[in-house]
Structure 1
Amino acid sequence: MPSNKNKLRIAVLGQKNLDRSGGIEVVVTELTTRMVKLGHEVTCYNRRGHHVSGKEFDTNIKDSYQGVQIKTVPTIDKKGLAAMTSSFFAAIYCAFGKYDIVHFHAEGPCAMLWLPKLFDKRCIATVHGIDWQREKWKGGFASKYIKFGEKVAVKYADEIIVLSKNIQDYFKDTYGRETVFIPNGVNKPEVREPQLIIDKFNLNKDDYILYLGRLVPEKGLRYLITAFKEVKTDKKLVIAGGASDTDSFFTEIKELVKNDPRIIFTGFVQGQILEELYSNAYIYTLPSDLEGMPLSLLEAMSYGNCCLTSDIDECAQVVKDKAVTFKKSAINDLREKLQYLCYNSDVVDKYKTEASNYICEEYNWDDVVKQTMHLYN
């Protein structure tokens, strides 16, 4: 425990809640609960509104979670306005609150970072990805607003944390701004036998190829579905995740899977079903065009999965030689790699034996917290 002299009062904003509704939420949950265990005082300013996959997944968090103080701020729960309004009110509370550190997560919320800086707060920004490039925001006000948040962070943040070397280069080349590379972490999981996934989806061990993440265009689902439909295999393709703000895209990909009964949509998953899906996949695949640092990839490897990802830096730098990559956006290359792995279970088994130890040693949440606390100080 730190002495009272070293105890920090930390405010965190940008997340929806402390849960698994998205990558930012997982990161904030892992960091803040560990900071509390180290003896620091942490307050999270959460949005109002329902879980991205529907109110049935809402987490019943009241005023605290594992020692983290929770304050829910006013929010206009509409696409494009929720992040803006919640971060505005959160930033005001942080400006007037007695905090040593105000930590902003994601570029959009950083648009309000100047507010606590007016009151001489030490402000840290974590950029999880270049969000204005995401397809759902392109060409509109939201994209411009998110990019404005990026520029505010560059100008006013005391420190900027980035999750990949690629994004670190982007800030240096675009703004001449130095950033600090602190990757995400992962926990060593308990591998589960298939039970619920047999009952609910008729899935057994090594029976399926798994995609797990948001159903958004930049994740490469169009390529994955198109490629898989041409793969000769009895294995299923399981697409697990919520549709978020992209209902039209979900309709498009549902149309794409027509006439292929091997493709299964599970919707958003959590808890034991999520753990069983990770534990029993034949291959985990992430065909993204755009990532920050994909937590689902770290988690999939931690369960000992053979992973197949696009060759973007944010994935390739994580997996190194412990997974298979294909050329980004190249449907034929993806199809060929899927077919090769379906035909060669010995190759799949080799990657499985190496994945978990490698990723759990390389990316550790306790190390991430230690580096973050060093930056705070």
Structure 2
Amino acid sequence: MKIAVIGAKGLPPKQGGIEHYCAELYPRIVAQGHSVDLFARSSYTQGSWLENYNYEGVRVISLPSVDFRGVDAFATSALGAIAATGNKYDIVHFHALGPSLFTFLPRVYNSTKVIVTCHGLDWQRAKWGNFSTRLIQMGEKAAVRFAHGLVVVSEALQTYFLQTYSRETAYIPNAPASYGESDPNFTYGTQLGLWQGRYIIFLGRLVPEKRPDLLIDAFCALKPSGWKLVLTGGVSDTKSFTSNLLEKVANNRDIVFTDELRGTRLWEIVRGAGLFVLPSNLEGLPLSMLEAMQEGIPILASDIPPHQQLINGERGMLFESENLDSCINSLHWAIHHPQQLAVMAKNAQRYVQMNYNWNRITADNLKLYGDICGIASKSRIQKEEELSIIES
């Protein structure tokens, strides 16, 4: 199959769940004999317009972008949809609701099938103004109307589309990235003044809906002896919000901002944490939490539905979303009950290993492609399994 991808900023991934999702999924799809073109923003790839390069078999095509908040994503998605329309792809796969505003364009050719993956209800994000919010909501309605297949990454999103639009969706979750080797001597963490197992980590973009400010307030109120708070993540159209956070903790030596981390430093800091906390009031299915669960780090999170899906059943702790007192009390309990948390972390690690797997996600996407295109699609893994049965 010939596949086009619209909605990701580009590859390789720097920051953002969609880019990491595409970096895991599409090289696997290419490895199974399909071709993938990913339409990217030149502002992200730092390439000239229409320049293309190879990322693990995926052809990344840089499109013109507009250096203006909120407009860049829509402009590049529109151009990508136009370009995809002229190339007669079998599948045009849109990621996120904003880019889905242009799902009608590839349907000019009857043979082209349109897929949309909803990673979250982006119109709820605080960073968007009224105009951008309305455009994203229009994208949601366009996805429901024009997509041949609509994919959601959480059970909560599946319920939302069924209740709001009576629209059936395919539930295909995210999965964590696999960490590589990190420094066993904890050198970078030591440079930051950290002790292994004695700090709380927040990992994610510093945006209002992830509520790092709530976690900071809880930590400052609790003042846990011998513990530090590490906030790891970049800025995403929220410079004023981040500036206020920095001012808030400027004189607190127990709170460390690392900015965005990648590779060995990220793996080292996550693995050294005693507790991973995600206080968000809005998520799709958070990759950062899945990664921490995979690494066996104890989890504390707000009780929004996607978090409940991941850590209900003795796999972590939940506190009441937006409730500072609940967050403080839960932090206090977690810090003083390490043995109970360790059991939960083991449960969570096993759960992720069994249920969130990129090979399975790849197979599910390819099956959806094949079903919608009316062709029998089997992954290479399935074929190899069948051959081994025949040979035995």
With structure 2 as the length reference, what TM-score do the two structures score?
Answer: 0.89
2:59 aligned with 1:79: no
The equivalences for 1:80-99 within 5 A come to: 80-99=70-89
CA shift, 1:118, in A, is: 1.6
Which residue does the alignment assign to 1:3? none
Q: Is the 8 A contact 2:24 2:177 kept in 1?
A: no
Q: Is the 8 A contact 1:187 1:302 kept in 2?
A: no
Q: Distance in 2 between matches of 1:160 and 1:207?
A: 43
What is the SS of the residue equivalent to 1:137?
A: coil
Q: What is the aligned counterpart of 1:233 among 220, 225, 229?
A: 225
Q: Is the 8 A contact 1:289 1:329 kept in 2?
A: yes
Q: Is the 8 A contact 2:189 2:269 kept in 1?
A: no
What is the SS of the residue equivalent to 1:99?
A: coil
| Structure 2 gaps, min length 5 | 371-392
CA pair 355-190 structure 1, distance change in 2 beyond 3 A: farther
Which residue does the alignment assign to 2:56? 66
The equivalences for 1:1-377 within 5 A come to: 8-18=1-11, 19-50=13-44, 63-120=53-110, 121-138=112-129, 140-190=130-180, 192=182, 193-198=184-189, 200-231=191-222, 232-321=224-313, 322-377=315-370
Q: Distance in 2 between matches of 1:233 and 1:307?
A: 20
What is the SS of the residue equivalent to 1:229?
A: helix
CA shift, 1:210, in A, is: 0.4
Q: Distance in 1 between matches of 2:190 and 2:252?
A: 21
What residue identity is the alignment partner of 1:355? A
With structure 1 as the length reference, what TM-score do the two structures score?
Answer: 0.92
CA shift, 1:198, in A, is: 2.9
Aligned length: 361
CA shift, 1:70, in A, is: 1.2
CA shift, 1:353, in A, is: 2.9
What is the SS of the residue equivalent to 1:233?
A: coil
Q: Distance in 1 between matches of 2:145 and 2:215?
A: 39
| Structure 1 gaps, min length 5 | 1-7, 56-60
What is the SS of the residue equivalent to 1:49?
A: helix
What is the SS of the residue equivalent to 1:135?
A: coil
CA shift, 1:62, in A, is: 5.3
Which residue does the alignment assign to 1:5? none
Q: Is the 8 A contact 2:6 2:95 kept in 1?
A: yes
What is the SS of the residue equivalent to 1:293?
A: coil
CA shift, 1:203, in A, is: 2.2
